[in-house]
Chains A and B, each alone.
Chain A
Amino acid sequence: MQLTVDGKPIEIDADPDMPLLWALRDLAGKRGVKFGCGIALCGACTVHVNGEAVRSCILPVGQVDGPVVTIEGLSTDGKLHPVQQAWLEEQVAQCGYCQSGQIMSAVALLERTSEPTDSEIDAAMSGNLCRCGTYPRIRAAIKRAASIKAGA
């Protein structure tokens, strides 16, 4: 099976029913994508397919119909994505396990809405759980990322 992941074509030998999450993690070595719940309740597995944020734990790899971008493909030319840069500057992560998914959801939000309000942030991000409770800094980082992008 052919997939385009983080800008590169890859060939994997996967059952089409296998969730994209496990194809990425166990077959393609993309371990930045995280397993959290397996039923799309926590958002740890969030990646982009065709530019949309999706929960890769419930998406069969056989149904993937476009390029996949994971946290590992966000930085280009050794430069952090503005959302990653904002996460770093706001010192968001604690244990860090959910943050791949949080960042992917935030990137998708900012692609749609360049200056999200608090309620737009809440709506877009409430599918992403953080057990460490980094939410206040996530809100701050999304706003900072919006201004980094605006200035870029």
Chain B
Amino acid sequence: MVGKIARRSFLIGAAAIAGGVALGYYTYRKPFPNPLDDELSGGEATFNPYVKIAPDNTITVIAPRAEMGQGVETTLAALVAEELDLDLAAINVEHGPVASAYANIAILRDGLPFPVFDQSTLANLARDGMAVVGKFLAVQATGGSTTTVDAFDKMRHAGAAAREMLKAAAAKEFGVAAATLTTRDGKVADPASGRRLTYGELAAAAAKLAPPTEIALREQAEWRLLGKPQMRTDMLAKVTGQPIFGIDVDLPDMVFGTVRMNPHLGGALVSLDASEAEKMPGVIKVVPIRTHLGNGFGVIAKTTWHAFQAADAVKVEWGQAPYPADSAGMWQVLTDAAANSGSVMRNDGNVAVEFADAPRERLIEAEYRVPFLAHAAMEPMNATAQFKDGVLDIWVPNQAPSPLRTVCAREAGIAEAKCNVHITYLGGGFGRRLEADYALYATKLAQVADGRPVKVTWTREEDITHDTYRPAALGRFRARLDEAGMPLAVDLKVVSPSIMASVLPRFYPMLAALGPDKTLTDGLFNQPYTIPNYRVAGVKADLTVPVGFWRSVGNSVNGFFHEAFMDEIATAGGIDPVELRKRLMAARPTAVKVVEKVAAMSNWGEKLPAGKAKGFAFVLSFGSWVAEVVQIADTPQGIRIEKVWIAADVGTALDPGIIQAQLTSAAIFGLSAAMGQEITFAGGMVEQSNFHDFDVMRISQCPEFEVAILENAPEMGGVGEIGTPPSLPALANAVFALTGKRIRELPLNKEVTFA
């Protein structure tokens, strides 16, 4: 058995181990077991956690990340297929089981308080150390735009290792040296003799061989798939209405349910009267739910609609929430917290000295605000759970299956090994589906469903009013300009509830988030500007509204803050906004090139007809460098966004078609928020409930897009979120250019009307 594990196991990449010694070199080097060993059927053979091959030449690649629209299934499969010399159409792609072998190492490295361009010894030691920690924690999660960065080496290695093992098996068969063989279209060929064997014919023997210790990966110049737009592996299912989402799960004997949790978030369930509801047709039972994530009740019924109807008829008394009852009270908490100095995340020069004697006429001071935001994924929260014979099965569209399993198994009082999590496609994620609440409540209903599976679907109203919101934030900024109008000193402070302090106890109630929360100042402290005196501080506000990761996280707040304030500096100093960025980022050629690219694409500086204007913004986030220009027009119906130009440097572009789609998608996500989205509170509850009061951009509002993808950056960056941060300030800056109104609080429709 030991031999089998050793043979079939797989070494995670070749991460440096500078910090690894303290944690145990041996444990770190020990490979994770291959979870596919337990899942083989029909004579399949597995080579490592990413590849299995059946005798009939059915080749399955595991893409163990959440497919929520960002195209990771396609690109991850392409990493393996590239090295196996296969076309994407020739393979099956599966999410696979939840397992330590699929831990996301990159996601933890990105939590460190170092900008991506900081290549100091300290920063790199910390990154290597975090890679080690990541392997010990073995969290399988999709987020932080880390998927391709994390997978780039290890999944290509997986494909290459399998290829070399197949060649070695064929070499034995043919009696020739493996190096003389070629691979193409699922076959190993001996060019000298013309003999060929399929991967399927070789797989059983090949998988018994030792994996190669040294593997040469394909040179970038030889890539057939990577670097070129691929047909998405999920597209056909998505245009033909296949039942691929969590909400589509269908199991024998399944019943349907819904939940209504206390809308005073964090409040108790005081009393419940289900007597009317339980008499309604189609209702099986109404059950109270009390968990550390929320209190309320669930309904189990014959159909989802019956469950919805019955839930409306339940009489319930809710306990109060632990936060101020309305938005005004919450802003007061943030305003009060602004008196604190917070954690200083960047401190170049001597800001205090520069502001002490700053002349009034060279001083700019501004206060900025952004609201709470809901995710509003198109597929409402849902999960299907079955608890039978001590085993809990959960079918769920989720981004973080291993922490989800921890939470649900703990609630059910079973070992994690007795909890199977099955990940479906996600009808949107955006960070909302990193949470486990909806799976936890399904678990509670499954515990009282007599062993039957229960599909638990939330209403849209439940979804909007029980989110883990993008936190509201307050920015207090000042700048001192020099005689040429350039910033001599900037002092930036952001105040917001801490995402990490909210998230961590939801998964690990015993853990407290200590120290600074990098997400608070992400997009503010780590921008590639050189300003002689540059201070950035983050203050955690003590506000217990549940907050979480929302596409681009802190960058969605601070991208707006930083870049709208830069626009103010440009205006006050009489310098063109693009010219200002080029001067401030002159030491970062990657940044200058994207700025110049987007300026050229958009013909920045051209004279526009009356009633039109452009705005510019640049944000470095998730290791990628992105500049955007938004052009707007004044129309009788209001401001119309006409066109958006995006230039993004992602280092290495693995699939330009998908990257183009993601940049556009993320910009629309940001523009939707900037135009009109906000979550507000009254009476202790969220006031918005559906798309009539939390709308998203409609096709009739959608601008034209022009996208350029650059590859000058030395490291590969993320893709899924990077288009969002610059979109909000670019729009706000365009509104200033058009109307002269410097709007410092989102959404912009508080002050202007959009068509």
Contact = CB atoms under 8 A, between A and B. Distances in A.
Contacts of B672: 133
B378 A42 contact: yes
B69 A94 contact: yes
A92 B239 contact: yes
Nearest to B376: A131
B304 A96 contact: no
B241 A100 contact: yes
Given A31-B248, A84-B239, A95-B68, A136 B705 contact: yes
Contacts of B235: 87-88, 91, 93
Given A97-B379, A135-B668, A72 B281 contact: no
A22 B282 CA distance: 13
B240 A75 contact: yes
Interface in B54-106: 68-71
Given A94-B69, A121-B699, A122-B700, A35 B232 contact: no
Contacts of A15: 281-282
B460 interface: yes
Contacts of A22: 303-305
Interface string A30-63: 0111111111011010000000000000000000
Interface residues on B, range: 35 or more
A91 B240 contact: no
Nearest to B243: A31
Nearest to B302: A26
Main secondary structure of the interface of B (DSSP, over half): loop
A151 interface: no
B699 A36 contact: no
A44 B378 contact: yes
A37 B241 contact: no
A53 to B, nearest CB: 15
A72 B665 contact: no
Contacts of A84: 239-240
Main secondary structure of the interface of A (DSSP, over half): loop
B427 interface: yes
A91 B241 contact: no
B460 A138 contact: no
Interface residues on A, range: 35 or more
Interface string B399-434: 000000000000000000000000001111110000
Contacts, number: 168
Interface stretch (B563-571, B601-609, B689-697): B689-697
A25 interface: yes
Given A41-B690, A138-B699, A129 B378 contact: yes
Given A72-B240, A84-B240, A135-B702, A94 B378 contact: no
Nearest to A124: B699
Contacts of A133: 664-669, 672, 697, 702
A94 B245 contact: no
A35 B691 CA distance: 13
B704 interface: yes
A114 interface: no
Nearest to A95: B69
Contacts of B234: 93, 96
B250 to A, nearest CB: 7
Nearest to B707: A136
A129 B692 CA distance: 12
Nearest to A75: B240
B391 interface: no
A94 B237 CA distance: 12
A139 interface: yes
A62 to B, nearest CB: 13
Interface of B: 68-71, 229, 231-232, 234-245, 247-248, 250, 256, 281-282, 303-305, 308, 376-380, 425-430, 457, 459-461, 657, 661, 664-669, 672, 690-692, 696-700, 702, 704-705
Interface of A: 15, 18-19, 22, 25-27, 29, 31-39, 41-42, 44, 70-72, 74-75, 80, 84, 87-88, 91-100, 103, 121-123, 125-126, 128-139
What are the 10 A-B residue pairs with the smallest beta carbon separation, nearest first? Answer: A32-B241, A133-B668, A97-B427, A95-B69, A96-B238, A94-B69, A71-B241, A22-B305, A122-B700, A135-B702
